[in-house]
Amino acid sequence: MSSSRLAEQRGEVIAIAQRMTADRLVVGTSGNVSVRCGDLVAVTPSGVDYDDLRVDDIPLVTLDGEVVEGELKPTSELPMHLTAYREHGAGAVVHTHSLHATALSLLRDEVPAVHYQLAEFGGAVRVAEYATFGSPELAESMSKALTDRGGCILRNHGTVTIAETLPKAYNRARQLEWLCELWLTATRVGEPSLLSEEELARCAEQFSRYGQQPR
């Protein structure tokens, strides 16, 4: 058992990072993952093969970006993660370079309403305007697109999803990629039929009561 601070959370970051690769949401060391615990954030390091990560390799940083534990440099996308925590109340952040979502970002300004699952994000998933990776401008662009949403797509780049927990944020990343793949698949043979805003609102209400509720 590791005696490292926040060992459980750091281990969870490793598990989700490795799963991103297995699920083909990233290639190599692209993409990144983080989870918040109080005033600290456990985040994947920069440029390290996820299969080689150990708990002590996961940096712990403050919400201001100061590294307080870990010898490896945090991901270059740290400004984006910290913005999601400070401005959107995230408990966890998942950033992928998933193929279909990135492809859609080259064509659209938001994800078309091809399926009711979109309602789980709180409404239309927006595409953030392009900015250089790791830059404050990208964090600002992401933050604008993420307002009142559970995720967004970064133009010519990838996706960002947030949630209270890391498993939920990761599930949103997978759902977002599936929604984009669905739209791209349908457009190969015709013009997709879309759900109305009213129907998405009804579905959003249904999602608020979805799953096992306290008795």
The single residue listed with the structure tokens 């938001």 is 110
Question: How many CB atoms sit inside 10 A of residue 8's CB?
Answer: 12
Q: Contact 36/85 with Cβ under 8 angstroms?
A: yes
Which H or E element spans position 15?
A: helix 7-22
Q: Contact 7/1 with Cβ under 8 angstroms?
A: yes
Beta bridge partners of 36: 41
Contacts of 184 (CB under 8 A, 6+ apart): 100, 103, 104
For the chain, the residue count is: 215
Question: Which residues are catalytically annotated?
Answer: 77
Give 111-144 as a DSSP string.
----SGGGGGGTSPPBEEPP--TTSHHHHHHHHH
The Cα-based distances of 140 to 30, 76, 88, 151 in angstroms read 20, 15, 12, 14
Query: What's phi and psi for 53, nearest 5 deg?
Result: -70, 140
